[in-house]
Amino acid sequence: MSQRTMTFGVVVGNRGFFPDHLAKTGRDEIISVLEAAGAKAIVLTPEESKYGAVETYEESQRCAALFKKHADEIDGIIITLPNFGEERGIVDAIRLSGLRVPVLVQATPDRSDNMTIAVRRDSFCGKMSACNNLMQYGIPYSLTTLHTEALSSPEFKADLEWFSAVCRIVKGLKNLRIGAIGARPTAFNTVRYSERILETSGITVETIDLSEIFGRIERMKDYDDAAQAKLAQIKAYVSTAGISEEGLLKQAKLGAVIDQWTHASHIDVTALQCWTSMEEFFGVVPCTVMSMLSNALLSSACEVDVPGVLSMHMLALASQAPSALLDWNNNYGSDPNKCVCFHCSNLPKHFFKDVRMDFQEIIAGTVGKANTFGTCVGRVKAGAMTYARYSTDDRRGVVRGYTGPGKFTDDPLETFGGAGVAEIPQLQKLLKYICREGFEHHVAANFSDVSKSIHEAAVRYLGWESHYHPELED
């Protein structure tokens, strides 16, 4: 998947009675490191302030004006402390900018073999003062893994990747619009949620009834350009051997109508009523259409699971790779740390070793096999994964959830739908937590290792309750 360019506002700290030549080299180094990572730096020039750093209130004002000018571009702010840094100048620059984006505080280490007055940084100490002022000003901030990290170190490189993911989540959820297509299945109280609580986080849910979708499909001609284009995309996306042209065309029209509605309504991601009205009154399952959306990073969740697609989207923003919605479905033999994750399925193609279109075996007995073609069937490939689930707690009026790392394995598994074996550290403890806290059986998953970014974004910047499994030191 293509990686989007990150843009960071950079505040270079400086305190004049420390060696201020370090501010000059520190500014040069952070710009070089960001450019090497494919990111863009928005930072004062040496003509705009002393060494392009921030110390005085006037320099804070200039930095703030620069950040305001680039407000739409800036994903996050990095405070770099090449020396102690002027704590007030740093926080004033951020406050005056009006930006509400993630903030990372980095401090460059001193050399124990050379701490003369000419080169001594004291960034170790200055970082505490900067953080104290950020706390006083009510500005949320993130910390590097080590208290001091050289900008050229592998630790900072990893922290920059982690922080970039945090920034993508926070920016990607700002003014998010989720499309809810159809009513939730009556039998699934588990996917209830509060639109009002989501709205307090700036997340809007737009609804459309399935009758409107079916009505628009009915008016669409078989030779409609949008329908034919979607038909070609479906055939190129997945093996359709044994599927009737009539069934494929129905899926194509469904996909085309959903595309038209999401475009017209400025919808980012969708949650869809996939059973049983779809099969009884239209004659296909929407799984392949949803799989294609998720594979294109336009996450789509089944069973109108709006919190589920929100969790999928968080993972996709962090990793820049497709997410799936799965069931915590079954034990895997007697191994306490392994389980079967499954859906019937609309998993994105990215998740499979190989995939083909087939019928939905679970509900075929109810509505007939001929009305259930369109699932994406295959075995989930092996690899590192992150899982996440965030939902509205309507009794308490909060968004809460959990996340953590795991992996999909190559363990043998004979079943239908889209399925894989997941290995999670201390899985039994996690399952107890899910049941004790009353979370749903649905969980979003992603081939990535971004759980710490998900947790940081949720807790630090979104103001949600988040449980990390297994526990973090921080």
For every residue of 308-376, DSSP letters joined together read HHHHHHHHHHHHSS-EEEEEEEEE-TT-TTEEEEEESS---GGGEEEEEEEE-HHHHHHH-GGG-EEEE
Predicted confidence band at 2 (pLDDT cuts at 50, 70, 90)? low
Pairwise CA distance, residues 93 & 138, whole Å: 14
Tell me the mean pLDDT in the region 437-449: 98
Tell me the mean pLDDT in the region 45-50: 97
Pairwise CA distance, residues 334 & 331, whole Å: 7
pLDDT over threshold 90, residue 363: no
pLDDT over threshold 90, residue 423: yes
Listed by start position, the domains of the chain span 7-173, 177-468
399 and 465 Cβ atoms separated by less than 8 Å: yes
444 and 343 Cβ atoms separated by less than 8 Å: no
Question: Both tokens of residue 410?
Answer: 């190559």
- Give me Rg for the CA atoms of the chain: 25
Q: What is the CATH architecture of 177-468?
A: 3-Layer(aba) Sandwich (3.40)
Quickly tell me which residue has 């989720």 as its tokens. 178
pLDDT over threshold 80, residue 17: no
User: Is 7-173's fold the same as 177-468's?
Assistant: no
Percent of the chain whose pLDDT exceeds 90: 91
Question: Which pLDDT value is given to residue 53?
Answer: 97
In tens, the pLDDT along 255-290 reads 999 999 999 999 999 999 999 999 999 999 999 999
- Judged by average pLDDT, the poorest of 238-247, 298-307, 358-367, 455-464 is 358-367
Predicted confidence band at 406 (pLDDT cuts at 50, 70, 90)? very high
Class of domain 7-173: alpha beta
